[in-house]
């Protein structure tokens, strides 16, 4: 049996530290905000190299609060990818704006920058690239286009904590430091996961940071003084912060291990299925290791019979979802549509053993014989 993910092994490894951290919060009796949350925000800011980190309740909250903090709202258009988790589009709609879909580059599954300019109208206010599967979008090209047209760039970095954009060898800024703001998810299965829902916003802009903090906390500047309408109650939970502070120091080595497993998969599966492409500018952290094959559904059934887990991210692009049909007609975003028919994510987590990785490779090869 090779499960697609294994959260128990991680807890077992860190059990005494996590239990102690939880006990500390429970003993202190302070369950909202407090030093655990502010310390985690500081530690994330140091790790990611972004001046401001604002903890919120989830990755979805992070995205729509960041959009609002960037000044995006009703009447505005935001360009994004159809090949993502639906929260990316929901965030745009919750902020009151309209998602405009642009097709992906089939090699990386990320937004194709060559298609961006044709989608820009006088209503366009922002571009929302997703760093899908843990690989940064082509942020150099996206940033240049945004600058030319006076647009904001919000990164959906939910799958990319620790991923880097390798700009010119010496400098390799991390996801979260590549646009005007970014939204991260700390959902349990992400590379850094809470034991429940959590997320955060990053930005280098102090005004955006302050606005995001206001909005996330009932639009209040000081207690019971509300300076923005329609604020939210979106918090990074204190117990989750305590857990995340135990886990954060391990993230680099966990991402390293994911990359090691990816190299094993690459070698074992090259020529058997289409293995993921690492773009020259990207340090991929393999939130997912996603292969492509026209025989995806049959391969998945075969793997299941052999006890090898796998999963499809995502079986439908956004514009073919019943709720989003009006965004674009079928056939108009062909690369996203084809990817949705062909992608399959293999087991990938830092506690996967070499032996398990070999079993996955063996199973995929056995199907292809
Ligand atoms: C997980 C995810 C989100 C949403 O995060 P939640 O914490 O579940 O709200 C948004 N975008 C992408 C690409 C994701 O993978």
What pTM value is reported for the model? 0.98
d(CA 87, ligand 1 centre) in Å: 6
Q: Is residue 29 part of a domain?
A: yes
Q: Which residue out of 125, 190, 221, 270 is catalytically annotated?
A: 190
Q: What is the pLDDT of residue 280?
A: 94
| CA–CA separation, 333 and 219 (whole Å) | 39
Q: Is residue 86 part of a domain?
A: yes
Q: Where does a domain end: 249, 267, 302?
A: 249
- Mean pLDDT on 256-260: 98
> Tens digits of per-residue pLDDT, 100-124?
999 999 999 999 999 999 999 999 9
Q: Is residue 1 part of a domain?
A: no
201 with 270, same domain: the answer is: no
d(CA 158, ligand 1 centre) in Å: 5
178 with 275, same domain: the answer is: no
161 with 24, same domain: the answer is: yes
- Average pLDDT over the chain, rounded to whole? 97
Q: Where does a domain end: 203, 231, 249?
A: 249
> Tens digits of per-residue pLDDT, 176-230?
999 999 999 999 999 999 999 999 999 999 999 999 999 999 999 999 999 999 9
228 with 260, same domain: the answer is: no
Q: What is the pLDDT of residue 356?
A: 97
Q: Is residue 62 part of a domain?
A: yes
**320 confidence band (pLDDT: 50, 70, 90):** very high
- Mean pLDDT on 128-135: 98
The total domain count for the chain is 2
Q: Is 158 in the pocket of ligand 1 (CB under 6 A)?
A: yes
- Is residue 190 part of the annotated active site? The answer reads yes
Could you tell me the CATH number of the domain that includes residue 308? 3.90.1150.10
d(CA 185, ligand 1 centre) in Å: 5
**For the CA of 186, the nearest atom of ligand 1:** 7
Q: Is residue 61 part of a domain?
A: yes
Q: Is residue 157 part of a domain?
A: yes
Beta-bridge partners for 80: 101, 128
Q: Name which residue sits closest to atom 7 of ligand 1, judged by CA.
A: 59
Q: Where does a domain end: 184, 219, 249?
A: 249
> For a pLDDT cut of 90, what percent of the chain falls above it?
98
d(CA 224, ligand 1 centre) in Å: 31
Q: Is residue 2 part of a domain?
A: no
The stretches of the chain forming alpha helices (DSSP H) are 7-28, 35-48, 59-69, 87-94, 116-119, 139-149, 206-216, 238-247, 251-269, 296-305, 334-342, 354-368
d(CA 133, ligand 1 centre) in Å: 11
341 with 236, same domain: the answer is: no
- Mean pLDDT on 219-246: 96
263 with 364, same domain: the answer is: yes
Q: Is residue 160 part of a domain?
A: yes
271 with 237, same domain: the answer is: no
> Tens digits of per-residue pLDDT, 47-88?
999 999 999 999 999 999 999 999 999 999 999 999 999 999
208 with 266, same domain: the answer is: no
- Mean pLDDT on 319-323: 97
318 with 337, same domain: the answer is: yes
Q: In terms of residue numbers, what domain contains 330? A: 251-368
Q: What is the pLDDT of residue 1?
A: 86
**169 confidence band (pLDDT: 50, 70, 90):** low
151 with 195, same domain: the answer is: yes
Per-residue pLDDT at 7 exceeds 80:
yes
Per-residue pLDDT at 369 exceeds 80:
no
Q: 129-167: b or e for each residue (b if 16 or more CB lie within 10 Å)?
A: bbbbbbbbbbbeebbebbeeeebbbbbbbbbbbbbbbee
What torsion do the CA atoms of 209, 122, 325, 118 make, to the nearest 10 degrees?
A: -110
| CA–CA separation, 154 and 175 (whole Å) | 11
Q: What is the pLDDT of residue 170?
A: 64
134 with 44, same domain: the answer is: yes
- Mean pLDDT on 232-239: 97
Could you tell me the CATH number of the domain that includes residue 190? 3.40.640.10
Mutation test residue for ligand 1: of 111, 187, 216, 336, the one with most atoms within 8 Å of CB: 187
Q: Is 58 in the pocket of ligand 1 (CB under 6 A)?
A: yes
> For a pLDDT cut of 70, what percent of the chain falls above it?
99
Per-residue pLDDT at 289 exceeds 80:
yes
213 with 256, same domain: the answer is: no
Q: Is 113 in the pocket of ligand 1 (CB under 6 A)?
A: no
- Mean pLDDT on 144-160: 98
């Amino acid at each position: 049996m090779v499960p697609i993910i294994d959260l128990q092994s991680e807890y077992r490894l860190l059990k005494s530290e996590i239990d102690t951290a939880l006990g500390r919060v429970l003993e202190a009796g302070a369950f909202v905000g407090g030093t655990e949350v502010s310390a985690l925000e500081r530690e994330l800011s140091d790790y990611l190299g972004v001046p401001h980190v604002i903890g919120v309740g989830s990755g979805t909250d992070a995205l729509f609060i960041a959009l609002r903090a960037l000044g995006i709202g009703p009447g505005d258009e935001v360009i994004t990818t159809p090949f993502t988790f639906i929260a990316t589009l929901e965030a745009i709609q919750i902020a009151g704006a309209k998602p405009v879909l642009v097709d992906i580059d089939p090699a990386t599954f990320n937004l194709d920058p060559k298609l961006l300019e044709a989608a820009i109208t006088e209503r366009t206010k922002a571009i929302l690239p997703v760093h899908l599967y843990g690989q940064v979008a082509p942020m150099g090209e996206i940033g240049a286009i945004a600058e030319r047209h006076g647009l904001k760039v919000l990164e959906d970095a939910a799958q990319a904590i620790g991923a880097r954009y390798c700009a010119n060898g010496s400098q390799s800024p991390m996801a979260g430091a590549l646009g005007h703001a970014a939204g991260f998810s700390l959902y349990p299965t992400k590379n850094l996961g809470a034991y429940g829902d959590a997320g955060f916003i990053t930005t280098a802009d102090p005004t955006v940071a302050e606005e995001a903090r206001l909005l996330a906390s009932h639009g209040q500047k000081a207690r019971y003084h509300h300076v923005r309408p329609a604020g939210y109650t979106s918090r990074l939970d204190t117990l989750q912060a305590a857990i995340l502070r135990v886990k954060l120091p391990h993230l680099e080595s966990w991402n390293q291990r994911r990359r090691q497993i990816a190299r094993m998969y690459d070698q074992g599966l090259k020529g058997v299925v289409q293995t993921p492409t690492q773009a020259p500018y990207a340090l991929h952290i393999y939130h997912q290791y996603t292969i492509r094959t026209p025989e995806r559904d049959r391969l998945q059934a075969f793997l299941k019979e052999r006890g090898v887990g796998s999963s499809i991210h995502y079986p439908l692009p956004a514009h073919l979802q019943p709720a989003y049909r009006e965004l674009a007609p079928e056939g108009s975003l062909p690369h996203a549509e084809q990817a949705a028919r062909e992608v399959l994510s293999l087991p990938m987590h830092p506690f996967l053993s070499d032996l398990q990785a070999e079993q996955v490779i063996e199973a995929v090869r056995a199907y292809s014989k």
